[in-house]
Amino acid sequence: MKLIGRIEKISFLKWDIEDLPAKIDTGAYTSAIHCKHIEEVDGVLQFILLCPKTEKYNNKLLQTTKYQVKSIRSSNGKKQKRYIVSTSVLFYEKKYKIKLSLSDRGKMTYPVLIGRKFLNKKFIVDVSKKNITQKEA
CA-wise closest residue to 126 among 35, 20, 2, 13: 2
Task: Note whether 112 and 10 are within 8 A (CB).
Answer: yes
pLDDT of residue 44: 95
Residue 136 confidence (pLDDT): 58
Distance CA 128, CA 36 (A): 32
Residue 137 has pLDDT above 60, yes or no: no
Q: Which residue has the higher pLDDT, 136 or 11?
A: 11
How many whole angstroms separate alpha carbon 58 and alpha carbon 66?
22
Least confident of 3-7, 78-82, 84-88, 124-128: 78-82
Could you read off the pLDDT of 39-93 as tens digits, one per residue?
Answer: 999 999 999 988 777 778 888 999 999 999 998 777 677 888 899 999 999 988 8
Provide the 10 A C-beta neighbour count for residue 37.
10
pTM of the complete model: 0.87
Residue 103: the pLDDT is 86
Indicate the residue type of 46.
Answer: Q
